[in-house]
Amino acid sequence: MQFEDVEEWMTKSDEGLENEFFTDEEIIGIASKADCGCEDDGENADMEDSQKIGHEEAKKAAEIILQYVEQQKDSTVLDVMNIRNWRDLAFKKSLTGTKQKQITDFFKQ
């Protein structure tokens, strides 16, 4: 590429572009939205309104997924082990998440 070609290319690219300049606040706003994955279209609002899935439900779902993965011909041992780990984690959390009743809870007041 020759020097004249580069100059012509630079001149044409400058003429065709409408340069947009951002203030510091706009740059920070754009960067912070990109960092947190926030979107303005309200998709995250739907996720916040939904209920959290309990450990017991997760345990049941993981058991079903484990059965499904074990039935598949193309599933690997690693796939089965990963699902088992998640199932075991949900099982442990379901046990530790329940609060033991006190003896006074059984007596009517």
Q: Rounded to whole angstroms, how far apart are CA atoms 58 and 51?
A: 13
Report whether 56 contacts 94 (CB < 8 A).
yes
* pLDDT tens, N- to C-terminus, the chain (109 residues): 677 877 777 776 555 555 567 788 887 888 888 766 555 555 555 555 578 888 888 888 999 999 999 999 999 999 999 999 999 988 888 887 667 777 887 787 6
Report whether 59 contacts 94 (CB < 8 A).
yes
Token pair, residue 66, equals: 């484990």
Q: How wide is the angle at C-alpha 17 spanned by C-alphas 1 and 14, nearest 5°?
A: 45
Report whether 25 contacts 49 (CB < 8 A).
no
pLDDT of residue 81: 94
Orientation angle between helical segments 77-97 and 55-71, nearest 10 degrees: 160
Could you tell me the pTM of the whole model?
A: 0.44
pLDDT of residue 80: 92
